[in-house]
Each structure stands twice: as C-alpha cells, then as structure tokens.
Structure 1
Amino acid sequence: MSVETGSKDAAGASDRLDWRLMLPLFAIVSLYAAGIGAVLPILPFYMRQMEASPFVFGLVLASEALSQSAASPLLGQLSDRFGRKRILLASHFIAVVSLLLLALAQSIFTVLLARFLFGLTAGNFSAAAAYAADNSSPANRRQAMGVVNAGLGLGAIVGAGLSSILSEISLDVPIYMALALSAFGVTVTMFGLKGDTVVRQPAAEADRAKILFRATVGSPVIRVLIVVMLCHCFAFGMYTSQLPNFLADHFVWNGRALGPREFSYIIAADGVINILVQLFLLRWFGRFFSEQGLITLIFALICTGVVSAGIASSIPVLAFAILCISTGDALAKPTYLAALSVHVPPGRQGAVMGAGQALVAVTDIVSPVLAGFILGLGFYAAWIGAVVAIAITGAMIAATCLPRHAAAGTTAPGPPL
C-alpha cells in the first residue's frame, strides 16, 4: 500500500466517529431530555392550578436559569479537572432530588425551589458537549455535536409523548415518570460511559490556565459568536417561555383550549423536527452554506415562525410556525457549539462550553420575566415584535461581523494561545 493511500485511510478513520463512545452519551442525553420533555408541557398548567400568573411563571423559569448561569461555568471547569462522567452523574442525582421536590410541591415557592435546583443540572449538557468534543476530531466535531442534540430531540419526543398520555391521569404522574428516567440515567452514566482520562493541572499552572481562558474568549470570532448566541437565545427564550400561556388564551385545538396534552404534541413535534434536521439537513446545509449564511438563515426561520405563531388561527398555520422555529433552533445548537469548539484548546473545552452556556443562561433569566410581564399586560403584539427585533439584530451582527468564506462549523482555528 502506498504512503498516499495509507494517509487517506488514516484521514478517513479520523473523520469517523467512534460510536462505541457516542451511543452511551446519546442514551444519557436522551434520558435527561426525556425528563425535561415530560415536565415541560405540564409545568405551565401545573402552576396555573396554583393560580400563578404568566409573570410568576416567568419568575420560576428565571430562578432555574439563575442557578444554571451560576453552575454552568463551575461545572464546566470541574469537568475539565475531574472528568465528564462525574459531572454527568452529579447532575442526574440533582435532577432526581429536584423532581421529587416538584412532585410533592404544595406551593409556588416549593416549585420555585425545585426548578432552582434543577438549574444546577446544567452541567449535564456542557459536560456532554465537552465529552463529544474530547472524542471527536475537528473534521467530525459538528457531527458529534449533532449526536448530542439528536439525543435531546429523541428525549423530547419520548418524554412529551408519554406526558401527553399520563397528564390525562394527573399532572403529577409525568413528574414521577421524569424522576424515574433521571434515576435510570444515573445507572447508564455509571456503567455505560467510559471513564475520563483527566489531565490535572498543577497549582502553579492555575494562573496560566486563566490567561489561556481569557485569550480564548478574547478571540474576535468567539466574541461575535457569543453575542449572536445571546441574541438567538434571548429571542428563543422569550418565545418558548410564554408560548403555552399565549396559546392557552388565544388558540383553540379540536374545539377546546390548548392544554398540557396538546402542548405535549408540540414538544414531541419539536423533537421529531430536531432529529430529522440532525440526520438529514445539518450536513447538507453545512456543505452549501457559509457559517455566516447558515446563522442568517437560522434567524430568518425564527422570525418567520414567531410571526406565524402570533397570527395562527388554524392547526396548519401553527404547524408551519413550529416547523420554522424548531428547524432554526435545531440548526443553531450544533452550529454554534462546533464553531466555538474549533477555537478552543482540548483542555479548555469544558470551561468554554460551560462559560458559553452560563452567558446563555443569563438571557434565560431575563427573557421569561420580560415576556411574562408583557403578556401579563396583554401586549401580545409587543411580545411578538420584541422577539422579531432581537432576532433581526442577531442576523445583522452575523451578516456584518462573521467571515463569509468559512463553511459552517469548520471555521479555521484562531491564533495559537
């Protein structure tokens, strides 16, 4: 065999994911997402039974985002130091405790405390993304991130589908199901995930690590990507956090007001779209669109979907709105994560992923409260207009500040650190 042929074979091997490592991670993320998918459709209606207003519901979501923003950077750094597996185990344990507290809640304060605790499980996704980055090459990094996000989509489908059935019995039952899924996630993580090879930094290296991290996030491309991510997540957070309250008041589904069962269908549809995009569209879009063009398309889809949802008076129009928004969000996550990861040294993947997620969580603190305040005043058009304006701002920043020539998710690495 010639040297050239051997080189091609080696390159081809490096381009292929190791599915023995990816499949357990896929299962762990799916279980985590299924727990979220089971609770998310019933939570607004669970709180409506406690006579909570949209503003109070927004405060509960903000408390979860607040703990997430505090925990994400710390957990990301801890996963760099102690390993992804330990952080994933810890997040599943915390999820079990918080879901048990939610199931037993008798007051809004208890619900708020339960969701605050659940926000501490934010390390699950950042550790999973860092694990995927650790076990993939730059050539297949976007595909590895797609595996993580496809797990989120599958989990959302399963969790929401079961929730739609179980919520007809009681709104408590889906919560107990989510608790059981999180407990199973502990088992899968413990016995199914490969142990990490942790490179511990000496104490003398701490200052150098901080300098490296500041240099990493000081990259102009990374700064632009973070700002674009913030615009995306702020707009998406304002939309998703209050969508069930908006539809419950303004949309009739099969002759009755939208409830937890109908909202479960929307969550399940979002999961289906997420998986289809990851499997069939992500690589195709990455081949034909630059990073700048793909991000602009993502914001265009969000704007179209939000406006369509605001004027929807029939199921086809609402379905079109969900299709646009879910497609845009499914394209966004692996695109942003892959673009960030190729600029980050291997030993800082967890820290940067966690820091990025913490910044995103800051938007999740403000967006549900602001959206709840606007809807509480009855300014529905202002709510839609604010979401569209933020999305347009993100698109303009991406169009003017990101390089036009780079393929999506394959941005050239920045200068050596």
Structure 2
Amino acid sequence: MRSVQERYESPSRHPVRAQDLQRVLNRLVTRHRVPGAQLAVLRDGLKTVVQTGVEHQDRQRPMRASSAVPTGSITKLATATVVMALVADDDLELDQPVGELLGVSGLSDRITPWNLLSHTSGLPSDPADVTSACLREVRAAVSVCPPGTAFSYSNLGYALVGALIEAVTGMSWREAVEAIVLRPLEIEPAYNGGERVVSGHAHATGPAAARPVEQSLAPMLEPAGALALSADDLVELGRVHLGKPGLLDVVTAADMHRRVPDADPFGLADGWGLGIAHYEGDDDLWLGHDGTADGTSCHLRIDQSGACVVAFTANGAAGTALWQDLVPELRTLGLMLPLQRPLTVTGPVPFPAGDFGTYRNGAIDYTIRPDDRGGAVLVVDGEIFADCTLHEDATFTVRDPATGRVTPCGRLRGAPGAATAIEVGGRRARRL
C-alpha cells in the first residue's frame, strides 16, 4: 500500500492528508471485499493519490497509482470533451443535423450533436446487433421518444458520436481522443483488454474471494466505454472542467456544463449537460460522471466553486457500494461531496390495470404484470424483480434479488392508468 502527493501550487487551506485517505480506503476495501482500489483528490492545487489491494486476485500484483482501471461510461466524458474541442475550433456545430455532418441519408434531421451528448436523441440504450455497422443500427433503431423531448441514456448515441468524430477529424476515435484529450493531459492511453489494464472482479461470494472477469465491449461501443484510466488520470481529466482556460476555453466549457432543460436523468443524477452529469450538493453543484465496466466501478466528481476534484476506481463489482460508503467518510474529512439521495417513499398505491404491460427500449423489454398476491412484479428480459410497488409520485420500487432490500427502480410517465413510458436507470422505454 503506497501513496503519493503532487503539488501544483500553494493551497489556500489545509490539504486532505494522505494517511486519512489511506485509512478510510483500506477499511472500506476490506469491508466490501474489493480486490483493489484507488482514490485521488485535487484540492486547492494539491493532488493526493492513495491506493490499496491488488490488480488481479490470482496474480497478487499490488495496485499502483498508475494502474489503469476500465472506467466504463466515464469514457463518454472524454468523448464529449473531444467534440467540444472540435466545436471550439469551428470544425462542427452542435445544432447541425448529424446526417448532414456525416454526409449520409436516412438519419433524422432532428438528431444533432447537442442531442447525442445530452442523451436527448431518442435513440435506444444499445444497438440490437453490436457486430453490425453503427449507421445501420442507428437507421434501424426505434426511437424511445422524439429527439430533444426527453432524457434516455444511450450508448448507441455515443457510438454515433464516435463516428462523427472520425468523419470530422479523419482519425479513428482512439487516435482523436489521444491527440485531443489524453496526450495534452499527459495521460498514457489504455483501453479495455490492453496489457496495462487491471482485471475486473465479480462480487465475492461466501468465503471465496472475488473472481476475475474478462472485459467484453464491442468495437462499435468504444467511444461509450473503452478507456482504462487510473484515479490519478481521472483527476487530470476533471481538471479540464474546473473553469480555467486550457484544453477547453471558458465559453465552450460553460456551454458543456450548462444544464440541458429537457435532460432529466431520473435514477442517474440531478441533471445533465453535454456529456457531463450534475450532482446537487449541500450548497453547490458538482459535475462528473460514473462508469462501470465488467467487474469495475469508477466515479468522478468536480466542484468548480471549491477547485476540487475527487476520483475513485475499484476493480470489483462491489465498488459501487463501496463508493456509496466512501462519500460520507470523505465528508468527515472536509470534502463535501453530494450524498446519494435517500429513498423517500410516498404512500403505496395500487398499480392501475391500464399500466400493466410491456415497455421497450431497443432490444430490452420491461414488463410490469400482476402477481398472484394482488401486487405486481417487474420482468426485465426474463429476470423477475418481485414486490414491484407503485407510489403516489409515480415512482416504483422493487425488492433486490441479491440483497432482499427494497430499492428505487423507476417511474411511470403519463397519466395514471395510461402510462406511455417508464424510466429505469436513466433509460426510457416506450409502451408497446
């Protein structure tokens, strides 16, 4: 277990102590049985990085400050930053139809880079066939809502962003993200499956240690989730968004960070900009993004008003629960990260019979049907979630099959008894 501090400039207040971060990280990694984790904090110019555990459960190589962890969807923040850099250079416009920018037909004239970056394109979450061509999948996709009218998280949308980057720059997505974002930030590029990349791990079960798992990501979806970065690297990516001139000018950064009015990312965050999420703190707003790959969990938070960036990576599926426990611990150290909103359950109400049925997002079906006890269940592509309970505010909860706990799940959209869609995990599914 090692730690390193790097000073950029004189801090205006007492820095977070590495030994305190190390103590908290060690304890939580043991509690959640995560093989390895990294934590990096930049505050007032002082960067502190700590790490613990191992890169791979079977090989027992210690986790290092430079270990590259598959960051999943945090890749989207890097991809969006590439697009905003191209906008700043007048290489493309955010409100220009994507089909026009690509020089192809068969795409909705209402889908723009602005829609794609803010997840308001109406495209489904994932391609039906990951081995197909991106444009073919986009053309064949059934929209979950008209472009620009609602938030629905879309990996397919970011695959299209990658195609747009390639068309505008003449480079592959990897070449563009390296040239425009990673190399200027002095980040050594790494991608899922590379030699420098640590292994993800499934949840530990019983006395057995967490089992290593392989990464699986279709090439089409690389712009949505292929980067592997350390917590140290994530802090450098976060520094771009502290409101200081650098990779992005102040005006372009402000455009990127501004909340999109129609982007209500229910279940993911409190708001969304162009490729970046909004998390409401006690008295301020934090920016950032979360990401999970196969057996990994990564989190990035940026407080512009406090000149603070916090980044966390874990190479275990239990890293998400670890992060939820880590946030309150960091708050006791003076890092006032936004807390996860507690479950506020309004009174339960019966499911209107008219809201039973199937809702679809791409190839994923969500079915709400009555059970044999007078209640309801949610079925997601064959997996059953019991005790699906509707509440007065149109949200619904289910019982987690792994823990047995009641957990927030989604909400109905539309009039009671005449729902037109549901939202689950930031994805919108339209009524069939």
Q: Is TM more than 0.5 here?
A: no
Structure richer in strand, relative to its length: 2
What TM-score, normalized to structure 2? 0.27
Greater relative CO, 1 or 2 (CA 8 Å, sep 6+): 1
What TM-score, normalized to structure 1? 0.27
Structure richer in helix, relative to its length: 1
